[in-house]
Amino acid sequence: MKELTGFSKEEKESASFVISDFDDTVTTDGLIYPDALESLYKLRDIGKKTIIVTGGSAGWADSYMRLFPVDAVVAESGALLLVREKGEIKYYVSPLIRDRAEYEKKKNDLMKETEKEYAFSSDQYCRIFDVAYERKSMDRDAEERLMKRLEKMDAKILVSSIHVNVLFSPLNKAKGLESFFPLLKRKLSVDMDFPRFTSSSIALGDSRNDEELFSLIPLSVGNMRVKENEKAFSSLPKYYVKEYGSRAFARTVSLLLS
């Protein structure tokens, strides 16, 4: 992982799609700053397509589609896709979630079992598939106990900067993106196969739940959160920037478009 001081001409020309996390990647402490918002508009205006891939809820994903110039959102760590169709926002469920009734039972059982001991995310009420626990409500020992408990339940655990996300499927951000690619091809008029799509993209993230995207997409950038915690990652991005959140996002986009 190298410090990003600039992209090569080939990297700039190849990056037609920006695949980005949202919390603490586009935002800083829950807020989107003017430079990051302006960067999203610059990407749109120059013709690059932005796809947000987040552990965030279906409810937040709907808000992103309504408020920001993004082309699609893959939400709940790969479980859902939101796109615009004829002026309306439509959502689709990943084909990797096959039995929704069984899934719902596992999710509800987990929530009942853990609700007295752990704090759910404040947006749990608008999550369809995943269960999210607030990391700030746990010390390290409590988080480790939760992890061991979830591992015994054969649950998929994904850790972001703010949440421990739990899914009852083999999903992660990269698998979710790939599972939705046939839909994305049609909805966004993408005329290429998936390997070419990944080589025509740039991935941006800040947390361990982004590492599969860093592995999938050769051109990838983390912010200082990645650099500070690099020993915890199994896959690191190609580059990192010496900034956090919105500033890191704006810096990366500025170098990409320069």
Provide DSSP, 104-165: HHHHHHHHHHHTTTSPBPTTGGG-SS-EEEEGGG--HHHHHHHHHHHHHTT-EEEE-SSEEE
What is the predicted pLDDT for the residue at 161? Answer: 87
Checking if the pLDDT of 155 tops 90, the result is no
Question: What tokens does 223 get?
Answer: 């912010």
Q: What is the pLDDT of residues 2-13, one digit of tens each?
A: 999 999 999 999
What is the predicted pLDDT for the residue at 123? Answer: 93
Q: For residue 129, how many other CB atoms are within 10 A of its CB?
A: 25
Q: Which of 155-159, 189-193, 236-240 has the lowest mean pLDDT?
A: 155-159
Checking if the pLDDT of 256 tops 90, the result is yes
Quick one: angle between helices 245-257 and 34-46, nearest 10?
30
Q: For 171-196, what is the mean pLDDT?
A: 97
d(CA 241, CA 224): 6
pLDDT band at 153 (very low <50, low <70, confident <90, very high): confident
Q: For residue 133, how many other CB atoms are within 10 A of its CB?
A: 23
Q: For 54-59, what is the mean pLDDT?
A: 96
| CA dihedral (8, 13, 14, 20) positive or negative | positive
Q: What percent of the chain has pLDDT over 90?
A: 93
Q: For residue 141, how many other CB atoms are within 10 A of its CB?
A: 8
d(CA 252, CA 26): 11
Checking if the pLDDT of 179 tops 90, the result is yes
Checking if the pLDDT of 154 tops 90, the result is no
pLDDT band at 195 (very low <50, low <70, confident <90, very high): very high
CA 69 to centroid of chain Cα atoms: 16
What is the predicted pLDDT for the residue at 151? Answer: 87
What is the predicted pLDDT for the residue at 5? Answer: 97
What is the predicted pLDDT for the residue at 44? Answer: 98
d(CA 163, CA 159): 6
Question: What rounded mean pLDDT belongs to the chain?
Answer: 96
In contact, 215 and 2? CB cutoff 8 Å: no
Q: What is the pLDDT of residues 74-100, one digit of tens each?
A: 999 999 999 999 999 999 999 999 999
The structural domains of the chain, ordered by start, are 2-95+172-257 (3.40.50.1000), 100-167 (3.90.1070)
Quickly tell me which residue has 């992209």 as its tokens: 7
The kind and range of the H/E element at 2 are strand 2-3
Q: What is the pLDDT of residues 31-55, one digit of tens each?
A: 999 999 999 999 999 999 999 999 9
Q: Which of 96-100, 130-134, 150-154 has the lowest mean pLDDT?
A: 150-154
